[in-house]
């Protein structure tokens, strides 16, 4: 058994030079303090804890084993990040208290899963295995990768996003979404661990399909794309999270930025890097002086301008990943710094000890073509990961 601590100087890189270090440290320590409260409560009553208008994630009544749960692991990921920062063993213990729930989801609820097995088990099993070296975490991660691979549809070459794999006469048949790029690192990791090249191949095939059909000529992206379930023939773009089918959903773009940069990281395929660069350049060009995007870039002027702090958090991580690979531009780097500065401001960061959440003004779907402001678990996690990377902690589970 071995544990990596945030006190290990091998994990520490050069301190950021463009912002005061204490601002980032203060924000990260705030995240640690809230994680210290949140994790034991979540472990005592496992649930999705996805989002809440007031930041009290425990109000979310969706059970851990329900098919819609894609968010629990954002808290476990924050627990691992907290451990890397502090070296406090209790963070790992609190995360591992959820072992039984994660194993039972694979054993008894495998059919009740979706493409977000990658989010769930990358930020649980893989992160824990990277930090602890415990074989049981490796095993659960490999089993999750196998379940995710079972969602691959050969006719069309994509991962089916939603719906039970044994249900074919639903609206979700033939549906792929941009978010799935972020679930592929689980397949790359499992392929590296086992030598099973088929898992890597599935990840590449899905990425190629996304590259072919999701990117528009103006470098915006569809949220979803639909294929004929029987033949795999492309049927056209679709939408569940943006304003409409022709929209440019801000968080979807951030998923694409990060997902294609990760694809380049794992394969070296220059086409994926080109896509990440194009999406990022478009994203950066559409930001206003606030540096936190509206929830959809194609909103009309008269429509309610809901910001999406969670999109910024993901986009920062995407740019950091590009920079770590020696790619990206100085414009991207400057924008990353500006977005992080904005998220650390009182306008977006909730410093109240009474609130479980970190980032205000995250976007959550409120019906097709609608959005609402809320605290989001994914926004909080990626914000904390962005801070961790800036502070020199090693985040290597993607």
Q: What is the DSSP string of 108-152?
A: H-TTS--TTHHHHHIIIIIHHHHHH--HHHHHHHHHHHHHHHTTE
Domain contains 15:
yes
Q: Where are the beta strands (DSSP E) in the chain?
A: 51-52, 152-153, 158-159, 175-177, 224-227, 234-238, 362-365, 371-376
What is the 8-class DSSP label of residue 347? T
Token code pair at residue 269: 């395929």
Q: Is residue 289 part of a domain?
A: yes
- Provide the pairing of β-strand 224-227 with 175-177: antiparallel
Of 48, 11, 149, 203, the C-alpha closest to 141 is: 149
Tell me the pLDDT tens digit for each residue of 273-301: 999 999 999 999 999 999 999 999 999 87
For residue range 81-118, what is the model confidence (pLDDT) as tens digits? 999 999 999 999 999 999 999 999 999 887 778 899 99
SS3 192: helix
Asked if residue 2 belongs to a domain, the reply is no
Asked whether the predicted pLDDT for residue 221 surpasses 60, the reply is yes
Q: What pLDDT, on the 0 to 100 scale, is given for residue 109?
A: 82
* Confidence category of residue 145, pLDDT binned at 50, 70, 90: very high
pLDDT surpassing 90 at residue 180: yes
Q: How many domains does the chain have?
A: 1
Q: Is residue 167 part of a domain?
A: yes
Binned at pLDDT 50, 70 and 90, residue 166 comes out as confident
Instruction: Specify the residue for token string 């074989």.
Output: 135
Measuring CA to CA, how many Å separate 165 from each of 149, 199, 234, 294, 310? Answer: 11, 18, 20, 34, 29
Main-chain phi, psi angles of 31, to 5 degrees = -60, -40
Question: Does residue 96 belong to any structural domain of this protein?
Answer: yes
Q: Residue 126's pLDDT band (boundaries 50, 70, 90)?
A: very high
Residue 47 included in any domain: yes
Q: Please give the pLDDT value at position 21.
A: 83
The answer to whether residue 351 sits within a structural domain is yes
Domain span at residue 312? 9-390
pLDDT class of 10 with cuts at 50, 70, 90? very low
Per-residue pLDDT at 179 exceeds 80: yes
pLDDT for the residue numbered 3: 38
The residue that leads in pLDDT, 9 or 46, is 46
Helix (H, G, I), strand (E, B) or coil at 326: coil
Digit-coded pLDDT (tens) for 197-215: 999 999 999 999 999 999 9
- Section 179-185 average pLDDT: 98
The CATH number for 130's domain is 1.50.10.10
Can you give the pLDDT at residue 17? 56
> What's the pLDDT at 8?
42
Q: Tokens 């033949």 — which residue?
A: 231
- Chain CA centroid to CA 240, Å: 17
Q: What is the pTM of this model?
A: 0.95
In this prediction, residue 19 carries a pLDDT of 56
Q: Residue 395 falls within a domain, yes or no?
A: no
pLDDT, residue 4, reads 41
| 12 vs 150: which has the higher pLDDT | 150
């Amino acid at each position: 058994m071995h544990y990596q601590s945030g006190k290990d100087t091998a994990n520490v890189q050069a301190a950021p030079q463009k912002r005061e270090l204490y601002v980032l440290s203060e924000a990260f320590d705030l995240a640690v303090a809230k994680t210290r409260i949140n994790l034991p409560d979540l472990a005592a009553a496992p649930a999705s804890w996805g989002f809440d208008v007031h930041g009290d994630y425990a109000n979310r009544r969706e059970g851990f084993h329900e098919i819609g749960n894609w968010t629990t692991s954002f808290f476990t990921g924050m627990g691992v990040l907290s451990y890397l920062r502090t070296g406090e063993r209790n963070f790992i213990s609190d995360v591992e208290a959820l072992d039984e729930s994660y194993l039972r989801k694979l054993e008894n609820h495998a059919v009740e899963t979706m493409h977000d097995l990658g989010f769930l088990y990358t930020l649980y099993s893989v992160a824990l295995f990277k930090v602890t070296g415990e074989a049981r975490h490796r095993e659960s991660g490999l089993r999750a990768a196998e379940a995710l691979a079972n969602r691959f549809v050969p006719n069309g070459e994509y991962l089916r996003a939603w719906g039970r794999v044994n249900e074919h006469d639903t609206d979700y048949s033939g549906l792929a979404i941009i978010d799935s790029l972020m679930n592929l690192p689980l397949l790359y990791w499992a392929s590296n661990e086992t030598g099973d090249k088929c898992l890597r191949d599935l990840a590449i095939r899905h990425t190629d399909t996304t590259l072919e059909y999701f990117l528009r000529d103006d470098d915006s992206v569809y949220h979803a794309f639909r294929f004929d379930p029987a033949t795999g023939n492309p049927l056209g773009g679709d939408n569940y999270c943006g304003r409409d089918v022709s929209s440019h959903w801000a968080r979807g773009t951030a998923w694409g930025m990060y997902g294609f940069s990760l694809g380049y990281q794992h394969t070296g395929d220059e086409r994926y890097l080109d896509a990440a660069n194009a999406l990022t350049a478009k994203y950066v060009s559409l930001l206003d002086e606030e540096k936190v995007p509206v929830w959809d870039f194609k909103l009309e002027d008269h429509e309610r301008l809901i910001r999406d702090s969670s999109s910024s958090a993901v986009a920062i991580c995407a740019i950091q990943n590009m920079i770590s690979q020696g790619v990206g531009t100085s414009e991207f780097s400057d924008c990353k710094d500006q977005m992080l500065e904005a998220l650390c401001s009182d306008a977006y960061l909730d410093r109240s000890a009474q609130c479980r959440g970190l980032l205000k003004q995250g976007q959550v779907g409120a019906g097709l073509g609608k959005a609402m402001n809320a605290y989001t678990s994914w926004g909080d996690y990626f914000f904390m990961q962005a801070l961790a990377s800036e502070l020199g902690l090693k985040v290597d589970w993607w």
